[in-house]
Chain A
Amino acid sequence: MSRILLIILILLVLPGCRDQKIVEELGFIHTIGYELIEEGENSGKLEVTISLPVAETLKQQTITTVVETSKESRIFLSKKTDKNLVSGQVRSILIGEKLAEKGVWDLIDTFYRDPVSRPTVKLSIVKSNPKQLLSKDYPEYKMVDTVIENLLKKEARLNTIPEMDIHKFAKDYLDDAIDPIAPIILQSEDGIMSDGIGLFSGDQLKTTIPAIQARIFFLLTGEFKEGDLLIKNEEEKVLFSFLTNKRSIDVTLGDKEEIDAKLSIDFKGFLLEYQGNKDITNEKEIEALENYIQENIENQIRDILETMKEHQIDNLGLGKYLKQKMDYQTWKNLDWPKTIDRVNVTPSVTVKIIDTGMVK
């Protein structure tokens, strides 16, 4: 009996598996860019750009096509290359600003649904055209797509842009208590640069927070762990380096429709640079400086909250804290985040300067 089974086994095994994906026959898409065409004959169609490394020379190949929906793009793109295009190595998706304003969930869902692509694919919004960004020849870079990937990673670590991947985007998009965010990158004359945070309502890009305010935003989400903070006005300029950061959000439900949220941020750090007319060797002056920084940050927080209220979005996840205090029916009736206006947020920031540097 076992011999018969052995023969069956061998017969089964011989024809082999049809799913062979031999590495050298594959084109590993590294970055995909999507943009909406608004003018000309192709108006309303999608412009899809992919970049893939050419195995023999390790240079980047960029292919563009114009399609009706994102799903058919693969067919058109693979006509233009000798390799079998696969999406298992896609590392980042670049979405043009125009498309982002229209809605991106369909695109992301395609990736999220695909068992081959990974949930850690980085997502970013491109202010200029993704095609131009990917296909422009930067003599100093061998492969632009990896440069973009590394830039996003580095900037996310420095807390100027969020590290947003498909998983996190889907998580925030599907959650009813928070709206997603995405980093914004820009093609500048001398290269590529990050340019702040894009705030979404649902899957549509509503507004952006400039890079300078982005760190304040991360203070609010509690993700800010380390980094420098620049605070300046006409007279003074303070460069502040963080050591520790504590953030807590305390929500109290008022009698009527009122909801109070107390946002307290508590951080310590040391002064890196100071230009102004305060004497930073004096203890009292330092205290004044602390107060100055506190006020400045509180103002910036108010600005961010104002922006959010204006667009009726909640990218900070205040809703999650509200949820903790409410019962299910109240929460559902709230219709978050349209009612973000009803939340009075009082920011309270405590700054402690530990040291002022190596010299007096």
Chain B
Amino acid sequence: MYINKNLSVHVKDRLDYCDDLVIRTFPELKIEVLYFGHLVGEEELKNNILQPFSNTNEEEVKIILRRKQYQQEEDINLMVKGVLEGKALIIYQNSLAYVVDIYVPKTRSVTPAEIETVIVGSKEAFIEDIGTNLSMIRRRVKSDCLKVLSYNIGTITQTKMYLLYIEGITSPILVKGLQEKIKNIDIKGVNDLNQVIQYLDKKPLSVFPQYFTTERPDVSASKLFEGRVLCLMDGSPYSLSTPTNFFEFFQSPDDYNQRWLLGTLSRLLRFAALFITLFASAFYVAVSMFHYEIIPVKLLHEYIQSRSKVPFNPVIEALIIECIIELLREAGARLPSKIGQTIGIVGGIVIGTAAVEAGFTSSVLIIVVSISAISSFVVPHIIMTASLRITRFFFIILSSIFGFFGIIVGFTIIMIHLCRLKNLGEYYLKPISPIFLMDIKDTIVRAPYQFFKK
């Protein structure tokens, strides 16, 4: 829409009832300045608007407006958009419009990562401002090959999104694939990158996360070197990387920052935790309901004694305790961190002990369930942890129906499902199935760097 006359009226019309709009006029210069006071920085406002226009006369205005930072704008839509993005709109003589970027977002400063904490390594985490986030990545990848493509998504929110990749490492097909997917998202608004992911999912019914998100800039940067496409979104302290595989969720920067032996062992520990968290409770149910013969005699006596007081069927018992653990976890997550810890202690110790003493559950089950709960938190990524917890219930129910056979059937279904999952043409279980022997040294184990391919 191009309008030359009465520009001021038209713009004001569009921004009608936006009472937070600031309008400054310099009548002697025939200049009107429009901006949102809370989107702009005071320093920038002073430097670009107040100072140049207050001590000048009509002749000089034209020269000032020729300066680089003032961009002439003819489309009224772009003018409005500019104002909404934190630019100041300068209307000169009610017919010429200039925009100047004085946007300074009011966000928190960079803080240490809270969810994906590490022992050794960088402490930074992304924040809500996309520019800061991008700067954290640029600072880590000082290369002209790092390309950044910009998008806006959400028809109303117009949220800014950056798509990052390294030219020469990332396959162009991936970039194109993700580009298309992002363009195809048709929504009115998004708040967080984790919402966008769910629109991108190829198999929405799957329990497993199909895109990898992280709040750590160092992890994001390393995903770029690995040839992945990275996505940042304004307002979200997360980055998305794709193609994702299952094993990424079991890696932590600690594996790389610490010595390889420790890295390897902690990785193996996490995979052991994966199996424990999935199968421990189901195994307990299967053993108590079907396969009693596998209990060694030394454990048998204590076990049957603790079971003998319990009034419930083992599967009901297990589900009750699992639900209690979930309740505790949810309560802990919702409460402020200090109270959350207390909840954990109260729940874990008090309820656990009381439940056993009251004959509500067997002590063996308390051990099994708490081990499997602890194991689930060994997995470094909270999204995967959640998936595993849900899967655990599936296994418990199956094992109560067919014992070990039920577990194996469930396991088979999940394995086939995982093998079928694809992410931008790459298989989800990539270095294992399809197998790439070369990649295993950085999947299941973390070999010394000298062994990595140059």
Which residues of A are in contact with B by a Cβ distance under 8 Å? 13, 16-17, 19-24, 26, 28, 30, 53, 55-56, 58, 86, 88-89, 91, 116, 118, 146, 149
Task: Tell me whether A88 and B293 are in contact (CB under 8 A).
Answer: yes
Given A58-B301, A89-B295, residue A20 in contact with residue B290 (CB < 8 A): yes
Among A16, A20, A24, point to the contact of B310 (Cβ < 8 A).
A24
Give the complex CA separation of A157 and B6 in angstroms. Answer: 106
- Residue numbers in A under 8 Å from B292 (CB-CB): 21, 23, 26, 28, 86, 88-89
Measured CB to CB, the closest approach of chain A to B395, in angstroms, equals 13
With a cutoff of 8 Å between Cβ atoms, the chain B residues found around residue A21 in the complex are 289-290, 292
Most buried by A among B287, B398, B402: B402
Q: Which chain A residues lie closer than 8 Å to B309 at the CB level?
A: 56
Known: A23-B307, A28-B292. A89 touches B297 (CB 8 A): yes
Minimum CB–CB distance from B211 to chain A (whole Å) comes to: 24
Q: B397 → chain A, closest Cβ, in Å? A: 8
7 closest residue pairs by CB, A with B: A88-B293, A55-B308, A55-B304, A23-B288, A24-B307, A56-B308, A23-B307
Cβ-closest chain A residue relative to B298: A146
Q: Please indicate the chain A residues that have their CB under 8 angstroms from the CB of B308 in the complex.
A: 24, 55-56
A24 to chain B, nearest CB (A): 5
Residue B401 interfacial (CB < 8 Å): yes
Determine whether the beta carbon of A22 is less than 8 Å from that of B293. no
Q: Smallest distance from the beta carbon of A58 to chain B beta carbons, Å?
A: 5
Contacts of A53 in B (CB 8 A): 300-301, 304
Interface residues of B in 285-342 (CB under 8 A from A): 287-290, 292-293, 295, 297, 300-301, 303-305, 307-310, 313-314
Q: Provide the bound-state CA to CA distance between A88 and B307, in Å.
A: 18
Q: Which of the listed residues A19, A21, A23 has the most CB atoms from chain B within 10 Å of its own CB? A: A23
Flag if A23 contacts B304 (CB, 8 Å): yes
In angstroms, how far is the closest chain B Cβ from the Cβ of A9? 9
Is A24's CB under 8 angstroms from B401's CB? Answer: no
User: Is residue B431 contacting chain A, with contact meaning CB distance below 8 A?
Assistant: no
Alpha-carbon separation in the docked complex, A91 to B293 (Å): 11
A22 touches B289 (CB 8 A): yes
How many chain B residues sit at the interface, stated as a range, is 20 to 34
CB of B403 within 8 A of chain A? yes
Q: Chain A contacts of B293 at CB under 8 A?
A: 88-89, 116, 118
Chain B interface residues toward A at CB < 8 A: 287-290, 292-293, 295, 297, 300-301, 303-305, 307-310, 313-314, 398, 400-403
Contacts A22-B313, A23-B314 given; does A28 touch B304 at CB 8 Å: yes
Complex Cα distance, B253 from A207, in Å, reads 71
Measured CA separation A19–B287 after assembly (Å): 12
Interface pair A16/B401, CB less than 8 Å apart: yes
Most chain A C-beta atoms within 10 Å of own C-beta, residue among B308, B309, B403:
B308
> Which A residues touch B295, using CB under 8 A?
89
The smallest C-beta distance from B128 to any residue of chain A, in angstroms, reads: 41
Query: Bound complex: CA of A34 vs CA of B402, how far in Å?
Result: 35
Would you give the shortest CB distance from B188 to chain A, in whole angstroms? Answer: 31
The docked-state distance in angstroms from the alpha carbon of A89 to that of B291 is 11
Q: How many Å lie between the Cα of A146 and that of B302 in the bound state?
A: 14
Contacts of A30 in B (CB 8 A): 297
16 CB < 8 A contacts A-B: A16-B401, A17-B402, A19-B403, A21-B290, A23-B288, A23-B289, A23-B292, A23-B303, A30-B297, A53-B304, A55-B304, A58-B305, A86-B292, A88-B293, A118-B293, A149-B297
Chain B residues within 8 Å of A19, by CB: 290, 403
**Chain B: minimal CB distance from A163 (Å):** 16
Residues of chain B within 8 A (CB-CB) of A24 are 304, 307-308, 310
Q: How near does chain B come to A156, taking the closest CB pair, in angstroms?
A: 16
Shortest distance in angstroms between A137's beta carbon and chain B's nearest beta carbon? Answer: 19
- Chain B hits for A16, CB < 8 A: 400-401
Kindly list chain A residues whose C-beta atoms are within 8 Å of the C-beta of B400: 16
When chains A and B are docked, how far (Å) is the Cα of A56 from the Cα of B402? Answer: 28
CA distance A135 to B309 in the complex (A): 26
A146 to B299, CA, bound (A): 13
A residues less than 8 Å from B297 (CB atoms): 30, 89, 91, 146, 149
Of B293, B295, B308, B398, chain A has the most CB atoms within 10 Å of the CB of B293
Chain B positions within 8 Å of A88 at CB level: 292-293
Residue of B nearest to A143 (CB): B301
- Cβ of B401: which chain A residues have Cβ within 8 Å of it? 13, 16-17
